[in-house]
Copies of this chain bind each other. A is one copy, B any other.
Amino acid sequence: MTHATAQSERKYPCDRCPLLHRDSFRRFSDDELAFVSGFKKGELFVDRGATVMCEGASNPHLYTVLTGWGFRYKLLPDGRRQIVNYVMPGDLIGLQGTLTGEMQHSIEALSPMTLCMFERNELMTLYRAHPPLAYDITWLASREECMLDENLLSIGRRSAVERLAYLVAFLVGRARTSGLLSGNAVSRLALTQQHMADTLGLSLVHTNKTVRKLAQRGLLRWTDGGCEVLDVEGLKGLARWEDQEARQRPFL
């Protein structure tokens, strides 16, 4: 019996990529699909709690999240942790430090994750062969920038209650469009209050009390190891968040 091709051994060959036929992602041309198929160099499966990449280490790979989610964070030397953003299906990670390859942040999985692996130093090939894909990568980077801007506004200028309301609404919104949350069941975010605290720039204790306040208002409910979102609009209102309509986005 001969070896199957590398691609057929994959759990997610590109033509069956779980992102391909989701409404919020744009389609590839046949050409692009073929190229990306060859550009992909492997698949990475990690468990909940695993470190996907690590601050300070150099990493020759880029990844696109296929399933599951995680968070991106930075540490101060004395251990204080700040979660800067979350990664969800369709997100391209590891672009930061394209030149050095040295990561400026770490990423940890919040659920089992599947990632699609690329070689960082083949990026230029993609830029030469498929300018529209290159354009998409830039678009993804600038989208990330927008999210970070919003988060900065939130941490810098919103009160604890507003901040938490914003965070929960933000996460549900992203989770929905990235396909993490299916159907019309109650949205549920499986993260600990410690994660929320480290995202909001608050202490664990105060985060807990803030969660409780939002629960009393009927905006959310805390159920073991996660947060059920009851009223997204209410949360957005509380956070004074005006959102722009969702658009079709590219992915790699």
Asked if A111 is at the interface (CB within 8 A of a chain B CB), the reply is no
What B residues does A49 contact at CB under 8 A? Answer: none
Asked if A7 is at the interface (CB within 8 A of a chain B CB), the reply is no
Give residues of chain A (212-226) contacting chain B, Cβ–Cβ below 8 Å.
Answer: none
Give residues of chain A (136-177) contacting chain B, Cβ–Cβ below 8 Å.
Answer: 137-139, 141-142, 144-146, 148-153, 155-158
B201 touching A155, Cβ below 8 Å: yes
**What is the interface residue range for chain A against chain B?**
35 or more
B153 touching A74, Cβ below 8 Å: yes
A149 touching B84, Cβ below 8 Å: yes
Cβ contacts A192-209/B at 8 Å (1 or 0 each): 000000111100000000
Complex Cα gap A138–B107 (Å): 21
The residue on B at minimum CB distance from A144 is B145
Measured CB to CB, the residues of A under 8 A from B are 72, 74, 76-78, 80-82, 84, 95-100, 102, 104-105, 123-124, 127-128, 131-132, 134-135, 137-139, 141-142, 144-146, 148-153, 155-158, 198-201, 240, 242, 244, 247
